[in-house]
């Protein structure tokens, strides 16, 4: 296409980002060029913006970041099958090799050769974005772009909730940031029993109640494990969905889990976590699931089914909408935890 566009670039390996003019990316033979209509901020984007130890180890700079989007295809590569100009799309952000053992056995979400859209490859906080045609997800024409761009984080919530049986189970969601709030919606839509939300942010606990949590626990005011056991008559919680990554929260989550229960771990700790594996996992017969991204592409079809059948109303999860040039205000809100999902309307 040539010409230039405005993009939010992680230009320097330090705090912040730069809104600047950059070239419109060139569409390869197996790629498509998408005109971006809406993007949303992920916790990963906040890590990149703040430039923590994970970002230092992982992120390639300079680079347009952002990986949650919806838009319209404006150019198609010569070998880009199944996609046409004018298609309304989103995309899976993990670009995998397709030839390793994980990819060949249905586990591409843990491909060791993964490149990540907006992290180790150019992303979508821009007017245009390049995506592998094989990663494209077609959106229902009636799905608003501000909802369609949430499918990447929604997939994380769907995979975490549905990595085991959920129907009628008591569920603790520890860490009700944006993905935790989405997990409440998913758990309710998929038939969970009582849902308990845990956080240290009163604003997010209030949002959790609005999303449908039956009880909330402020983790700085009461010990999480004790509160959850009290709420379950001393038995513990059937399903623990750990989304905070806080080491103490992880320990408390295992302590709160019922015998023969499930603990699904999505939150990423920034330091080692010390666990009593003997008493809190082995002797309790727990099933422990590590969650990374979405199963490709099982999770996408699950969430498309939930969205297209109107089983999920995600509008209330979006608390703020901005233009891309308001990124500083948006990231400040994210950093303070005073928001649900934030969407950039392009």
- Which residues are catalytically annotated? 44, 47
d(CA 265, CA 239): 11
**Residue 216, strand partner residues:** 197
Whether the ω angle into residue 297 lies within 30 degrees of 0, i.e. cis, is yes
Rounded to 5 degrees, what are φ and ψ at 287?
-100, 125
For the four alpha carbons of 18, 95, 40 and 45, in that order, the dihedral sign comes to: negative
Q: Which two tokens stand for residue 297?
A: 């592409």
Q: Detail the DSSP E strand segments found in the chain.
A: 4-10, 18-23, 31-40, 63-64, 68-76, 88-91, 94-95, 115-116, 128-132, 136-138, 171-174, 195-199, 215-218, 237-242, 257-265, 287-290, 318-322, 341-345
Give residue 3's region: left, alpha or beta (phi > 0; psi -120 to 50): left
d(CA 115, CA 144): 28
Q: Which two tokens stand for residue 63?
A: 């680079």
For the four alpha carbons of 63, 94, 178 and 69, in that order, the dihedral sign comes to: positive
């Amino acid at each position: 296409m040539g010409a230039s566009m405005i993009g939010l670039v992680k230009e320097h390996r330090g705090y912040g980002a730069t809104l600047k003019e950059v070239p419109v990316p060139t569409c390869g033979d197996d790629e498509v060029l998408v005109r971006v209509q809406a993007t949303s901020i992920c916790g990963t984007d906040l890590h990149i913006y703040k430039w923590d130890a994970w970002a230092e180890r992982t992120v390639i700079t300079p680079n347009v970041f952002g990986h949650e989007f919806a838009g319209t295809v404006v150019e198609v590569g010569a070998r880009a099958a199944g996609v046409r100009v004018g298609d309304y799309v989103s995309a899976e952000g993990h670009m995998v090799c397709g030839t390793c053992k994980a990819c060949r056995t249905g586990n591409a979400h843990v491909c060791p050769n993964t490149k990540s859209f907006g992290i180790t490859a150019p992303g979508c906080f821009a007017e245009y974005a390049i995506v592998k045609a094989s990663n494209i997800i077609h959106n229902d024409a009636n799905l608003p772009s501000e909802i369609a761009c949430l499918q990447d984080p929604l997939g994380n919530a769907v995979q975490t909730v549905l990595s085991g049986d959920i129907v009628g189970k008591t569920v603790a969601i520890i860490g009700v940031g944006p993905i935790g709030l989405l997990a409440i919606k998913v758990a309710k839509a998929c038939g969970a029993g009582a849902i308990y939300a845990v956080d240290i942010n009163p604003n997010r606990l209030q949002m959790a109640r609005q999303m449908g949590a039956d009880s909330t626990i402020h983790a700085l005011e009461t010990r999480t494990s004790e509160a959850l056991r009290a709420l379950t008559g001393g038995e513990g919680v059937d399903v623990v969905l750990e989304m905070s990554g806080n080491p103490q929260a992880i320990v408390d989550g295992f302590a709160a889990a019922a015998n023969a229960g499930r603990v699904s771990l999505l939150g990423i700790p920034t330091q080692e976590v010390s666990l009593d594996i003997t008493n809190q996992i082995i002797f309790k017969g727990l099933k422990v699931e590590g969650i990374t991204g979405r199963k490709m592409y099982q999770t996408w079809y699950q969430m498309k089914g939930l969205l297209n059948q109107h089983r999920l109303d995600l509008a209330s999860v979006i608390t703020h909408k901005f233009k891309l040039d308001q990124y500083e205000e948006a990231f400040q809100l994210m950093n303070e935890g005073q928001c649900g999902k934030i969407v950039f309307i392009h």
